Amino acid sequence: SQQGEEDPQALSIQEGENATMNCSYKTSINNLQWYRQNSGRGLVHLILIRSNEREKHSGRLRVTLDTSKKSSSLLITASRAADTASYFCATTKAAGNKLTFGGGTRVLVKP
């Protein structure tokens, strides 16, 4: 079974706007990651945040983690058409361990 849920399930925005999606999980974690999956392509790792971190940035990506609420958010700033994809959060309980994914948010960025 999946770790938790992502919200919203789908998101449609104009190019240049920001996209925000949320992820909730159920059990304690070692770290949380976000992945992107384009149609017909594999999963690509975007960013990792450890359980003792609260916020992390990478380029146009900003991730937050609230372990007390068991939730995380991913913000993509100044979105581009190429950001159109499904985004998944995934958690691990220990280093080298299996990933437990959420259900994903499908993002459509209109040019």
Partner 1 sequence: GAGVSQSPRYKVAKRGQDVALRCDPISGHVSLFWYQQALGQGPEFLTYFQNEAQLDKSGLPSDRFFAERPEGSVSTLKIQRTQQEDSAVYLCASSRNIIGLSYNEQFFGPGTRLTVL
Q: Which is nearer to partner 1, 18 or 50 (CB)?
A: 50
Burial of 43 (0-12, 13-18, 19+ CB in 10 A): middle
**What residues numbered 76-105 form the site for partner 1, per CB under 8 A?**
88, 90, 92, 95-96, 98-104
* Rg, the chain, Cα only: 13
**What residues numbered 39-58 form the site for partner 1, per CB under 8 A?**
40-45, 48, 50
**What residues numbered 3-42 form the site for partner 1, per CB under 8 A?**
6, 30-31, 33, 40-42
- Measured in degrees and rounded to the nearest 5, phi and psi for residue 26 equal -105, -35
Site of interaction with partner 1 (CB under 8 A): 1-2, 6, 30-31, 33, 40-45, 48, 50, 88, 90, 92, 95-96, 98-104
